[in-house]
Amino acid sequence: MLCSLPTILLLATGASAHTAAFVKGMYCEGGPDPSNYNPNANDPVNPLWMLSKNDWWMQRKSGCLNNPPKNGASVALPAGGQFTVELAHNQAQTSLSFDGKFASAWPDGKQHPEDWRGPGSPPDCIQDDGALHTNNQTMAAGTAWAISYESDLSKVTMENLVVFSVLEHTPWKRIATYKVPKDLPACPAGGCYCAWLWVPTGCGQPNMYMANYRCHVTGSNSNRKLAPAKAPVYCQDDRSKCVKGAKQMVAWNQAEGTNVQVPNGASPGYNQGMGWAPGAQNDIFQ
Any residues with CB less than 8 A from the CB of 236 and at least 6 apart, and which? 266, 272, 273, 274
pLDDT tens per residue across span 129-165: 656 787 888 888 999 999 999 999 999 999 999 999 9
Rounded CA gap, 94 and 104, in Å?
A: 8
Task: Indicate the average pLDDT of the chain.
Answer: 92
Say yes or no to pLDDT of 100 above 90: yes
Confidence of residue 4 (pLDDT cuts 50, 70, 90): very low
* Cβ pair 203, 134 in contact under 8 A: yes
Considering only CA atoms, give the Rg of the chain.
18
Average pLDDT over residues 85-90: 97
Say yes or no to pLDDT of 27 above 60: yes
**Which is it for the CA torsion 112, 115, 117, 120, positive or negative?**
negative
* Cβ pair 106, 88 in contact under 8 A: no
* Cβ pair 143, 171 in contact under 8 A: yes
Q: State residue 134's pLDDT score.
A: 79
Fold of domain 17-110+125-286: Coagulation Factor XIII; Chain A, domain 1 (2.70.50)
Q: State residue 84's pLDDT score.
A: 99
Query: How many CB atoms sit inside 10 A of residue 205's CB?
Result: 10
Confidence of residue 14 (pLDDT cuts 50, 70, 90): very low
Listed in order, strand segments (DSSP E) in the chain are 20-22, 75-78, 82-88, 143-148, 162-167, 175-179, 192-198, 209-218, 279-280
Domain spans of the chain, in order of start? 17-110+125-286
With a threshold of 0.85, does the pTM exceed it?
Answer: yes
Taking the alpha carbons at both ends of the chain, their separation in whole angstroms is: 48
* Cβ pair 60, 93 in contact under 8 A: no
